[in-house]
Structure 1
Amino acid sequence: MSGCDAGGTTNDAGVERPWVTVKLAQTLDGRIATRTGHSQWISGEASRALAHELRAAHDAVLVGIGTVLRDNPRLTVRLVAGRDPLRIVADSAARTPLDSHLLAERPELTVVAVGELAPSDRVDTIRRRGARVLLTRSQSDGRIDLADLLGRLSQRGVRGVMVEGGAAVVTSLLQARLVDRVVICIAPKLVGAGVEAVGDLGILHLDDAVGFEQVEVRQLGDDIVFDGRVAAPLRAANTTGSRAATDR
């Protein structure tokens, strides 16, 4: 399985949105980082090259502000041939550091999605760095509404979005039934306590678990790669007490 659905798709309300691919690198016990937050590198070199292939195959890459603050990613295509995607940051309070790679290197490729209450001085500073700022609808807790963000990206011609984290963004997208494909690179490592790949989805019965179709499983270097399309939307799940957040 490769690339993404160039035609996009629709959400439960019938609103057009981009095709969404979630890509994760995790240990055998489902961790994307140690309990200290250290994550470089979980997967092997071949899996990292696959991540760059996926970036090149999508119009945009989405991460949360927590990933930017913790990892300072570039989100460019370097390990394979291909064009760099748009780099989208879900950043409700406009906290993206001015010295981050996303603002210091080719800022014209960066879109910072901010909430309605983002400080105007921070928003203006990000714009002056050359990045685009996209005002999105906020949820009741002030965090970014990811469905609204995806809809706005679709209106701007974005047909495919690759999501690289963090765990809270991935969890929120799964909760909101906004994921079409999941690619997981599983490294032959165990870390025990650490950062989980996916948080609480509010699923109480296995019948409500996220299912997959068109599944491919292969070895890539020392890693195992799972690649599958989400088979059917989740039923409404009880998310009371969920720790998910859109931009942490």
Structure 2
Amino acid sequence: GITRVVVGLRHPLKHLRGKAIQSLRSEGIQVDVVGEDLQSKLFKEALTSCLIVNAPLLYRAAFRVPFSVLKYAMTADGKIAASSGHASWVSGRASRGRVFELRGRSDAVIVGGNTVRRDDPRLTARHVKGHVPVRIVMSQTCNLPEEANLWNVHEAYTIVATQRGARRDFQKKLAMKGVEVVEFDMLNPRDVMSYCYDRGYLSVLWECGGTLSAAAISARVIHKVN
């Protein structure tokens, strides 16, 4: 059987911290905690790795918001999209593959209305084995196309976040397709992040264009740019 367990990091929430360790030790199992029972250069490096891997959980516990990553591709002359407006032509095959990995590790992917209208994305992690994120569209006016890949909820769940009262008839059409519509008194990145926190999300990936990216950065809800 198991005689020893090495714990990389204690749980950040006080009401959960140490309970599993205590339970294991009460059963006679040796439990060593990195940085406490185990201290050396090697274990310090291991602790750093644990902090990086558990960043979403740590941020959520400390700041009561999900850990947010902004996906950002830019050309040498500072452009984030081609003249056609399609950002997919800016990044290469390898970086787009990396995006699927990021999606597979995220609870939700956020885009704005412009991205839906111009790119008609699917926002799935279809090329990697992993978690299927919820897709969130932020649109103040709900000025969105009648047909879009994101309205296919058989691939992944979709939420449209919009301003209260915006295009109620269109909201009903989305609801009939299985899309959840959430109204905000004043739609903004910080309130959407609070909403994501309430839903229990740990990690959120922002795949939006320049306008929404700037708003998210200004609202200080972005923790990492990738």
TM-score (norm 1): 0.65
Compared with structure 1, are the counterparts of its residues 36 and 74 closer, same or farther at alpha carbon in structure 2 (3 Å cutoff)?
same
Instruction: Give 1:177's aligned residue.
Output: 220
Q: 2:160 aligns with which of 81, 91, 112?
A: 112
Aligned residues with identical type, % of pairs: 33
Kindly state the Cα deviation for residue 117 of structure 1 after the two structures are TM-superposed: 2.9
State the alpha-carbon separation in 2 of the partners of residues 2 and 51 from structure 1. Answer: 17
Is 1:127 matched up with 2:175?
yes
State the alpha-carbon separation in 1 of the partners of residues 180 and 156 from structure 2. Answer: 7
Is 1:6 matched up with 2:21?
no
Kindly state the Cα deviation for residue 7 of structure 1 after the two structures are TM-superposed: 4.1
Kindly state the Cα deviation for residue 170 of structure 1 after the two structures are TM-superposed: 0.7
* CA RMSD, Structure 1 to Structure 2 (Å): 2.1
Q: Highest CA radius of gyration, 1 or 2?
A: 2
Runs of at least 5 residues in structure 2 that lack an aligned partner in the other structure = 1-51
Deviations 1:49-84 (A, max 9, x none): 100100011100000011000100000012222122
Kindly state the Cα deviation for residue 87 of structure 1 after the two structures are TM-superposed: 0.2
Conserved? CA contact 1:137–1:145, under 8 Å = no
Is 1:151 matched up with 2:202?
no
Matched length = 175
Is 1:36 matched up with 2:84?
yes
State the alpha-carbon separation in 1 of the partners of residues 63 and 136 from structure 2. Answer: 20
Instruction: Give 1:66's aligned residue.
Output: 114
Compared with structure 1, are the counterparts of its residues 120 and 22 closer, same or farther at alpha carbon in structure 2 (3 Å cutoff)?
same
Instruction: Look up the SS of the partner of 1:96 in the other structure.
Output: coil
Deviations 1:73-126 (A, max 9, x none): 000012222122000000122233231000035276100001113121111111
Instruction: Give 2:5's aligned residue.
Output: none
Compared with structure 1, are the counterparts of its residues 99 and 153 closer, same or farther at alpha carbon in structure 2 (3 Å cutoff)?
same
Conserved? CA contact 1:8–1:160, under 8 Å = no
Deviations 1:119-148 (A, max 9, x none): 21111111111011111231xxxxx22111
State the alpha-carbon separation in 2 of the partners of residues 38 and 122 from structure 1. Answer: 25
Instruction: Look up the SS of the partner of 2:122 in the other structure.
Output: coil
What one-letter code is carried by the residue in structure 2 that aligns with 1:147?
A: R
What one-letter code is carried by the residue in structure 1 that aligns with 2:174?
A: I
Instruction: Look up the SS of the partner of 1:6 in the other structure.
Output: helix
Conserved? CA contact 2:124–2:156, under 8 Å = no
Greater length-normalized contact order (CA 8 Å, ≥ 6 residues apart): 1
Instruction: Give 1:23's aligned residue.
Output: 71
State the alpha-carbon separation in 1 of the partners of residues 142 and 155 from structure 2. Answer: 15
Is 1:95 matched up with 2:143?
yes
Compared with structure 1, are the counterparts of its residues 7 and 124 closer, same or farther at alpha carbon in structure 2 (3 Å cutoff)?
farther
Deviations 1:6-31 (A, max 9, x none): 34448xxx972211100112211221
State the alpha-carbon separation in 2 of the partners of residues 106 and 113 from structure 1. Answer: 19
Instruction: Look up the SS of the partner of 2:81 in the other structure.
Output: strand
Where do 1:48-63 residues align within 5 Å? 48-63=96-111
Compared with structure 1, are the counterparts of its residues 128 and 4 closer, same or farther at alpha carbon in structure 2 (3 Å cutoff)?
farther
Runs of at least 5 residues in structure 1 that lack an aligned partner in the other structure = 139-143, 184-248
**Which of the two has greater helix per residue?**
2
